[in-house]
Amino acid sequence: MQPRARDLRPRTLVLLALAGVVVSACSSGTGSGSPGQAGAGGPAGTSGQAGSGQAGATGQAGTTGQAGTTGHAGVTGQAGTTGQAGTGGRGGAGGQAGAGSGGTTGQAGAGAGQAGAGGQAGAGQAGAGGRGGAAGSSVAGTGGGAVAGRGGGAGNAVAGAGGAAGAGGGAGTGTLAGCTPGTLSPMGELLGRFGSVKAMAAGKEYFLQVNEWGSSGAQAIAYGGNTFFKMTRQEASRPTNGGPTGYPSMFIGANSRNSTAGSNLPKPVAQLTTVPTTWTWADNGTLADTTANSYNVAYDVWFSTNAAGEPTASGPTGGYLMVWLYDPPDAQPIGTPMFEGVTIPGVAGTWDIWIGLNGTRPCISYVSTQPLLSLSFDLNVFIKDAVANRPNTILSTWHLTNVFIGFEIWRGAVNVETTAFCAVVN
């Protein structure tokens, strides 16, 4: 990965201890981002062993099979479990699809087409359910996941070239086991700097809030149905070398005298097994104009030194962990980039890791190196990485207390929305 030029001057956000105000955790400073990278096409299938049977009389693969989404096997090339390899031919086992869906501008081609007896396979389409795209999550969406092509016919299988993933390619809209976004109810609108409401989705309770703690410009949020929450009005602005205007968000847990039922929080870090979560959001054209719009798309995860957490406080006693799905080019997390291009087990893509202090509390931020419009993953793998590999950040003796998602906004961001979210603590 090419290192990104950053203004590495240390930044510090002072946590506002205002009753009923949730201060976003770890954002400050200026820097340059890098655009989303193109996803690669599906890899070629592995070769099968040649059979001893005779090649089918009509099993000639088409010589004009094109790669990508329109590529098909030859007109008479017969794939399938009964295709016998021609003498000396090697059957392709089928390409394997990437895990997530492609970006907003295209999807990667995946599995290889199967050759007829004795012929050469044209470029095929994806294996059942699999959709390519390196920008996607490593966890497949509903029906996702790579599936090998059916039985190898004779000839050399050739993988489809596939379309390049667009910037922001993410996982499909599928979810992890035990975490289903559903639709949000009731429907309504939140007005004022600290407008808030409790809402339900798939039997789980969430707390939504405008949370404009850093400014007083007019903001409004629409919520409910397939739009979990959407910025319908946003007139506030702050320079990007400091904290944002606020953090319109939703969460599970308890803070600032607000709480959600059935969250299984607080939970000792050492006793966490999985924390499955899915988040899908839409920029609705704002990423194309970074002059008018500057905001991040970030999880904010709180940890307490106390078993009971801090249900009445506006910040944790332990520390913060953030996961940024999108990093604007002119703002950055608190601290400095201590590790670059890191891979996290079970999560696609690469991540830059920033570490610093929010006041006196440690804050570790995992920043995706390309925009992700959707991600389904186990949040606990980031927590485990911080505990095991990033000294002086998150401690195994602490307790997980809150899981937020939201947009830290410096300017613009009208019509930015969350279309799906769930989080479960096990």
- Which is it for strands 336-344 and 294-295: parallel, antiparallel or unpaired? unpaired
Per-residue pLDDT at 314 exceeds 70:
yes
For residues 126-143, give the mean pLDDT: 34
Per-residue pLDDT at 347 exceeds 50:
yes
Lowest mean pLDDT among 143-147, 199-203, 313-317, 394-398: 143-147
The C-alpha atoms of residue 123 and residue 113 are separated, in whole angstroms, by 5
Q: Do 389 and 291 form a contact (C-beta atoms < 8 A)?
A: no
Cut 0.85: pTM above it:
no
Per-residue pLDDT at 254 exceeds 70:
yes
Per-residue pLDDT at 415 exceeds 50:
yes
The C-alpha atoms of residue 158 and residue 287 are separated, in whole angstroms, by 36
* Cα 244 to Cα 196, 287, 294, 370, distances in angstroms: 19, 17, 9, 21
Exposed, middle or buried by CB within 10 Å (0-12, 13-18, 19+), for 262? exposed
pLDDT, residue 176, reads: 74
pLDDT tens, 270-287?
A: 999 999 999 999 999 999
Of 290, 321, 287, 285, nearest in space to 304 by CA: 321
Per-residue pLDDT at 174 exceeds 60:
no
Look at phi and psi of residue 150 and say left if phi exceeds 0, alpha if psi is from -120 to 50, else beta.
beta
Lowest mean pLDDT among 134-143, 207-216, 236-245, 285-294: 134-143
Q: Name the residue with higher pLDDT: 173 or 369.
A: 369
Handedness of CA 190, 416, 408, 324 (dihedral sign): positive
Residue 59: DSSP 8-state: -
Per-residue pLDDT at 356 exceeds 60:
yes
Per-residue pLDDT at 104 exceeds 50:
no
Per-residue pLDDT at 22 exceeds 80:
no
